[in-house]
Structure 1
Amino acid sequence: MNKEKEINPEEQVEAEQVENVEAAEAQVESVESQGESDAAKEENMIEALNKKLALAEQQILDQQDAVVRAQAEVANARRIAALDVQKAHKFALSKFADGLLPVIDSMEMAISHADKEDEALKPMIEGVELTLKSMLDTVEKFGLKVIDPKDEAFDPEKHQAMSMQVVPNVPANQVIAVMQKGYELNGRIIRPAMVMVSKAAE
């Protein structure tokens, strides 16, 4: 079974306009060929020409509307494409950052567990600290920032509460310890900070 060809509404309108113009032209030719008086001929011709002019003006308006719509569609497409490029550029390092975080965690753990009183280990510890600082400074240039909320108010969007504890003289819902630092990339959380939160006494 053959499917009927779909008719484009714009093509249909254009075809109707062409038919109307042709009809007006035919009316002009008909008036010219009739054996009427000169005054009647002139009046009929003016009427036919006015119809033809009105149809032409309407066609121009329709074409102007089509141009405006096309310009708006192009502007929207450009805006969407620009946003997509911006997002791709902004979060291109997301996967790389995810892979880098365990390395940063390991270096911080090595520093925190190292015996800083041991003179033999001091040069190595300082080297690891300098390497970690250099790495953090580098990734920060690309939008990766540390979330270290010690003594700050608990923020469920940035922090993940691992436990709660009553602490004297500390208000409720305050971060009292950070078990693992969090990170955000250009304002988007890629890993929340794992924290211990204070709670009100019962």
Structure 2
Amino acid sequence: MTKKKTENQKPAETSVKEKQPEAPVEAVDIEAAIKNASKISTDDDLETQLAEAQQSAKDNWDKVLRAQAEMENLKRRSARDLENAHKFALDGFVKALLEVKDSLTMGLKTANEKGATIKSITEGLEITDKIFLSTLAKFGVEALNPVDETFNPEFHEAVTMVPAPDKESNSVLEVVQIGFTLNGRLVRPAMVVVVQ
């Protein structure tokens, strides 16, 4: 029996001995594999993050360049629009004045015809004057004709003062030259004779 026990024990010891060295080897291999896997995954993550960051930086740089190009185009377009606005601001006014020019041309043609009378020429001039004043009024230009109004030094310029007992003192007796305002701002004062 002792032999059997020894024989029985030997295989048991052998199996225990075989399992003991294998267990630490397997544990070391697993730890190393985990370290290698985490190192590889960390390296892959870093490379992925780097690639994503580089792509994001490239995309943002493209956006910045596009925004700068947009701003440059906007500046050029604004400068061109401003230049055109300065050049052609009076376009509508000039077109309206052409009506006055046409009326003057017709008046001159009528005055040079045979049988033209002073009355017909005067009528033509009066029509032209009305067209001219209505054209100015369309663009905010108003005439200052202050006859019998109180003298206002902001809008009137006194040429002379004359005594007139039948008129109120400091009133406008006569307008020598009509004044004009543009949208309420004085362009030219009315030249007037004021009652003393």
TM-score, length of structure 2 as denominator length = 0.45
Task: Point out the structure with max Rg over C-alpha.
Answer: 2
Instruction: Give the structure with the larger helix fraction.
Output: 2
